[in-house]
Amino acid sequence: MEKKILLNELVTGILTYKLPFNPIIEGLSYALERARKNFLHFSWSNSRYDVRSRIEDLVEVGVACLCSDFTLQNCDLITISVKDVKGVMRKIAAKFWEYPYKKLYCIGVTGTKGKTTVASLIDQLFALNGISSCYIGTRGFRYTGTLIENLGITTPESVDLYRYLSMALYKGAKVASLEVSSHSLVQGRLGDMDFSIGVFTNLFHDHLDYHRDMQNYFLAKTKLFEISKVKIVSIRTSWGRELVKDLNKKGEQKIVKVGQGGDLWFEGVDFSLDGTLAKFYSYRWGEFLVSTRLVGIYNLHNLELAVAALLVYGLPLQDVIKSIGMLQPIPGRMEVVVQGDVNVIVDYAHTPESLEYLLESVRKLTKGRIILVFGCGGDRDREKRPLMGKIAVENADFVIITEDNTRKEDPTTILREIADGIPAGYENFTVIKDRKRAIEYSKKISSLGDTVIVAGKGEERYIEGPEGKREFDDREVCKEIFNG
């Protein structure tokens, strides 16, 4: 998808002055590895995007112009110096890609748990109803379900985000379903983008290394609803009910409350590893029985939010209900990867609450014991590690603590801090550093009717350690071990 625009035309209305140079701009970049010939490149001081020591690389690539918050002497590049380079970058990105968010029906999903599942279900439900859509989030940039590009981040910077939206629009998308992280809201990555619908799933202990406390974390999430026309809020948690109160105080009219006693909700009738039978309730839309391949009560809570989004969009209820039966489970989210004498479930749960909810949900589906394999990521919120250790041994029959994405941190420290949370007297656990060996051990100790849960990584295809990333997919490893 080619784009060309003269630099002065691109910055008109953004910069207050005309530039004495006017090269053709064919793309935008801020990460050095993405810089290309005739691109406008952005850089800001004291960050990993500070290119002052790598100017020759930009020259070699053939970058047309550098926009930064610093000045350069004797530079072979055309340069623009501005104070707020990120703010200018986001406005230029919107103009370069012709404001694609204004031409799409954008739905943003935020919350600690369920963002990926809800956004993916929304995307899938639209496709099942014949409406082309795209998804942007943890699972990458996808158009009509097909992976176009991996992101490595939940909500990308505007330069990338607007490019993805423009690509989707070019391909024929009518709807965009996005995961919106608290980091992106605080850092302003969305630029001037707004949403037709904002969805709030829940709020639990996570990212407090960044937000410091739960109140700041909550306030970060609520920023989405300042730029959303319709607010869909799950009232199944206290933070959701708090959000509704805040929105009511502000005089917001377009609020859809989801969860028992709200505008619509689901109640489970029968749960199994093959799927769920549930009753749909709504004072506005009536009552219906629905069947879905999604497993567990919390997937049902995710589904009710996705259904609410489609009903707000304006799709007929009967069409939505029909498509629920055709939904495919989301990979790595309460995914049953092995079914037999011993069942194996892979899930992304990586917070105390999500781990507890996962174990509670699986308990209702298990005849025998629950054997849990999990770890915690490095260079992240350390406070949750002992909490997760305690929750694990209190809710599983046996726990194997193992590596997750340790990143630059010593894995032994992470394993110890998880084990530190286990109350005295509990002996139903062991520590096996190597994740594959931990999964192998779970098979060795399992017996007829047991369920093994491998938690923390979902559909990720790597483990990130001090030496970088190595290939590792929990789902494929589990299939290899348990079906071998």
- Do 160 and 192 sit in the same domain of this protein? yes
* Other C-beta atoms lying within 10 Å of the C-beta of residue 19: 16
Record the pTM.
0.92
Task: Report how far apart, in Å, the C-alpha atoms of 196 and of each of 166, 175, 200, 225, 251 are.
Answer: 17, 10, 14, 10, 18
- Do 181 and 239 sit in the same domain of this protein? yes
pLDDT for residue 208: 64
Per residue of the chain (484 residues), what is the pLDDT tens digit?
789 999 999 999 999 889 999 999 999 999 999 999 999 999 999 898 999 999 999 999 999 999 999 998 888 899 999 999 999 999 999 999 999 999 999 999 999 999 999 999 999 999 999 999 999 999 999 999 999 999 989 999 999 999 999 999 999 999 999 999 999 999 999 999 999 999 999 998 677 677 678 889 999 999 999 999 999 999 999 999 999 999 999 999 999 999 999 999 999 999 999 999 999 999 888 899 999 999 999 999 999 999 999 999 999 999 999 999 999 999 999 999 999 999 999 999 999 999 999 999 999 999 999 999 999 999 888 999 999 999 999 999 999 999 999 999 999 999 999 999 999 999 999 999 999 999 999 999 999 999 999 999 999 999 999 889 999 999 999 999 999 7
- Do 35 and 174 sit in the same domain of this protein? no
Among residues 304, 324, 344, the one where a domain terminates is 324
- Do 253 and 344 sit in the same domain of this protein? no
Residue 29 lies in a domain: yes
Residue 385's nearest CA partner among 205, 181, 116 is 205
pLDDT for residue 254: 96
How many domains would you assign to the chain? 3
- Do 197 and 314 sit in the same domain of this protein? yes
CA angle (216, 464, 390) in 5-degree steps: 55
* Other C-beta atoms lying within 10 Å of the C-beta of residue 21: 11
- Alpha carbons 119 and 305: distance in angstroms, whole number: 9
- Alpha carbons 418 and 439: distance in angstroms, whole number: 18
Among residues 51, 66, 96, the one where a domain terminates is 96
pLDDT for residue 8: 96
- Alpha carbons 395 and 325: distance in angstroms, whole number: 31
Residue 330 lies in a domain: no
- Do 284 and 180 sit in the same domain of this protein? yes
- Do 169 and 266 sit in the same domain of this protein? yes
- Alpha carbons 23 and 59: distance in angstroms, whole number: 14
CB 221 within 8 A of CB 200: yes
Domain that holds residue 303: 100-324
pLDDT for residue 55: 93
- Do 209 and 222 sit in the same domain of this protein? yes
Residue 365 lies in a domain: yes
pLDDT for residue 211: 64
Among residues 69, 96, 123, the one where a domain terminates is 96
- Do 220 and 206 sit in the same domain of this protein? yes
CATH (domain of 416)? 3.90.190.20
- Do 91 and 106 sit in the same domain of this protein? no
Q: What token pair was written down for 282?
A: 């709504």
CATH (domain of 92)? 3.40.1390.10
CB 400 within 8 A of CB 371: yes
- Do 159 and 11 sit in the same domain of this protein? no
